[in-house]
Amino acid sequence: MGMEYCIPDNPYLLCLLENTAYSQWIVAGLVGWPLMLSMHAVGLAIIVGIMFTLNMRMFGFFKPIPFSAINDLMVFGWIGIALNIFSGFSLFMAQANFYITNFPFILKITFIILGIANLHYTQKVLKRDAAGWDASGEVPQISMLLAGTSLAFWILAVVGGRLIAYL
């Protein structure tokens, strides 16, 4: 793909991204796209798995698992997010002009941002309150609200990501 595919209505920066050697390796090579897509799936499994476990614990399931132990796993959640940011931006670069106007992609990114903000806040609450929750065995209603919104954000991000290929 050369710059001849960049039409005036498309932002020039997107054309530059699509035409880097790196994005060409991803889109045209035999290894790039499957590698980035696989990295994206692994990152997704890490973050969604950890968030699902945390959220279910906040709803009262998995009571033998202390909140402090789940809080210790959050570093892996951030690793999953970092992996997805790297692989996701790599995939975006390869077809930037397509993704920037794709409604499911925009929804996906919106819910990822909301999910990350929710994760950041939840982690602050956990650091502050996990020991007390473990001692009392009770979880405040606000924490259940955080868990519910987190589940919704991450599920909607995954669904949005899957719809990119079909809409």
pLDDT digits (tens, 9 = 90+) for 50-85: 999 999 999 989 889 999 888 888 999 999 999 999
pLDDT at 71: 86
The helix/strand count (H/E) of the chain reads as 7, 0
User: What three-state secondary structure class fits 115?
Assistant: helix
Q: Where are the domains of the chain?
A: 3-163
Residues of the chain with pLDDT under 50: 1-2
Burial class (CB in 10 A: 0-12, 13-18, 19+), 118: buried
Assess contact for 95 and 27: CB atoms under 8 A. Answer: yes
Sequence-ordered alpha helix ranges (H) in 63-136: 67-94, 96-99, 103-136
Assess contact for 109 and 158: CB atoms under 8 A. Answer: no
Could you say which DSSP state residue 64 is in?
T
